[in-house]
């Protein structure tokens, strides 16, 4: 797999295997990744920071302050990372991370990052087998950390045994697996935001949709390795792996959608059903009095996706005010596989909020009511459900 466009933070802690981290950085770069290095102080005694600066083009972070490019290097690196990999990971670094400590730049970067973490332990056999280290490992595994190795072989000082760091190629392979995610190779289309239908060059008919839900859904699919196209009217940011097409009207959204092949489509946009039939070219003036605005129907984007010869797995949305009866009817007739319905009048649900309360409606009338959750959590649960259904 190519790592083109992937941002890898390589954490180096202080063990003799640190010399292999330089080669590991090189392998990531050859695969197309951008690499930034963070080192513990002890690691700098094994390999010079200049080596990593030369390889990566970025001065390694070795302290919580005093970086030439950042006043808060650990949070900058933590947020920047698509993945953090610690190689070698000493017993002390593993214990610090398992315990949530953050007294050096490396452990602080890990704590400041939501990115997946891969660790490649390296230490003497006694240290690896010590119950304290095994407790750290068990905690890390329970936290979802990916542990690669160690293996048996030659150790520092001429010793032999388990505790040897796996070879850089194996670490690269593990990183590729983690980055690939469960949705690797799946083409996902997401629509998001409310459309704006022009009345004149200044005014439009719009709605209160912020696009947050759709953007969370697109970002989460990208993090799971899907190949995501987001067709959006929203100015909100999106994950840098998402291919984004910015649109404004239902018409422009319809043409953008038509150009995207998809295995899964999630239609989270609030598309206007009607638009002014003849938007005027010049700004309407108050002196002319209230205009008569004649409306016409917009293209029904969802139905064009349903009609495709290669119809994707399809998730529709329905924002309702009040009971779910209309949503249940929509799930039955619209040709979707799932409908995410919400009552926008409920506290904590609906437009512009960070949370939502949704119900999953099946075409056969099946209903699952989810509790109040953040939109990010809804996105995760929705993809868990879609992935399970598509198997
Ligand atoms: N949708 C669409 N194109 C439209 C209108 C809606 O693709 N022109 C999609 C939405 O993105 C959503 C689903 O259709 O996934 C349902 O939208 P909704 O507005 O609830 O459906 P309508 O059939 O327009 O129902 P209503 O009678 O409530 O307006």
Element (H, E) at 119: strand 117-121
pLDDT in tens, 90-120: 999 999 999 999 999 999 999 999 999 999 9
Distance (Å) from CA 36 to ligand 1 centroid: 45
273 lines ligand 1 (CB under 6 A): yes
Q: CA angle, corner 309, sides to 308 and 311, nearest 5?
A: 60
Note if 356 is an active site residue.
no
pLDDT band at 347 (very low <50, low <70, confident <90, very high): confident
Q: What is the DSSP letter of 98?
A: H
Instruction: Please state the length of the chain.
Output: 391
pLDDT in tens, 42-93: 999 999 999 999 999 999 999 999 788 899 999 999 999 999 999 999 999 9
Distance (Å) from CA 277 to ligand 1 centroid: 19
Q: Which residue has the tokens 């249940």?
A: 328
At 129, phi and psi to the nearest 5? -85, -10
pLDDT in tens, 369-391: 999 999 999 999 999 999 999 98
383 lines ligand 1 (CB under 6 A): no
pLDDT in tens, 359-372: 999 999 999 999 99
Q: For the chain, what percent of residues have pLDDT higher than 90?
A: 89
pLDDT in tens, 240-268: 999 999 999 999 999 999 999 999 999 99
271 lines ligand 1 (CB under 6 A): yes
> CA separation (Å) from 357 to 319, 339, 346, 373, 380?
11, 13, 8, 7, 14
Please report the atom of ligand 1 found closest to the CA of residue 299. Answer: 8
Neighbours of 202 (CB within 10 A): 9
Helix (H, G, I), strand (E, B) or coil at 146: strand
Quote the pTM value: 0.83
Q: Which of 72, 184, 207, 243 is catalytic?
A: 207
Distance (Å) from CA 270 to ligand 1 centroid: 7
Cβ–Cβ under 8 Å, residues 314 and 330? no
pLDDT band at 214 (very low <50, low <70, confident <90, very high): very high
């Amino acid at each position: 797999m190519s790592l083109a466009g992937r941002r890898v933070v390589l954490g180096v802690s202080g063990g003799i295997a640190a010399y292999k981290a330089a080669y590991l950085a090189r392998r990531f770069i050859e695969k197309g990744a951008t690499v930034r290095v963070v080192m513990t102080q002890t690691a700098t005694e094994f390999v010079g920071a200049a080596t990593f600066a030369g390889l990566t083009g970025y001065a390694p972070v070795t302290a919580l302050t005093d970086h030439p490019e950042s006043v808060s290097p650990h949070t900058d690196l933590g947020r920047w990372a698509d993945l953090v990999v610690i190689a070698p990971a000493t017993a002390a670094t593993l214990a610090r991370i398992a315990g949530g400590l953050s007294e050096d730049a490396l452990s602080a970067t890990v704590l400041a990052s939501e990115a997946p973490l891969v660790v490649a332990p390296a230490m003497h056999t006694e240290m690896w087998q010590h119950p304290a280290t095994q407790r750290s490992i068990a905690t890390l595994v329970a936290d979802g950390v990916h542990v690669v190795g160690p293996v048996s072989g030659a150790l520092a000082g001429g010793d032999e045994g388990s505790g040897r760091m796996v070879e850089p190629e194996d670490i690269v392979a593990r990183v590729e697996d983690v980055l690939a995610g469960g949705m690797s190779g799946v083409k996902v289309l997401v629509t998001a935001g409310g459309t704006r239908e022009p009345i004149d060059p200044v005014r439009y008919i719009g709605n209160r949709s912020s696009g947050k839900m759709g953007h969370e859904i697109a970002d989460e699919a990208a993090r799971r390795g899907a190949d995501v196209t987001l067709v959006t009217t929203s100015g909100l940011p999106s994950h840098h792996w998402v291919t984004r097409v910015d649109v404004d009207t239902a018409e422009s959204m319809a043409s953008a959608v038509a150009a995207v092949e998809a295995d899964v489509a999630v239609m989270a946009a609030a598309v206007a059903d009607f638009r002014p039939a003849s938007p005027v070219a010049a700004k309407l003036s108050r002196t002319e009095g209230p205009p008569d605005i004649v409306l016409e129907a917009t293209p029904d984007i969802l139905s064009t996706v349903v009609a495709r010869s290669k119809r994707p797995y399809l998730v529709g949305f329905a924002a309702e005010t009040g009971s779910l009866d209309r949503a249940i009817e929509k799930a039955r007739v619209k040709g979707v596989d799932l409908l995410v319905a919400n009552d926008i009048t409920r506290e904590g649900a609906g437009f512009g909020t960070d949370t939502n309360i949704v119900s999953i409606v099946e075409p056969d009338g099946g209903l699952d009511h989810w509790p109040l959750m953040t939109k990010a959590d809804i996105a995760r649960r929705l993809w868990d459900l879609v992935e399970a259904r598509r198997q």
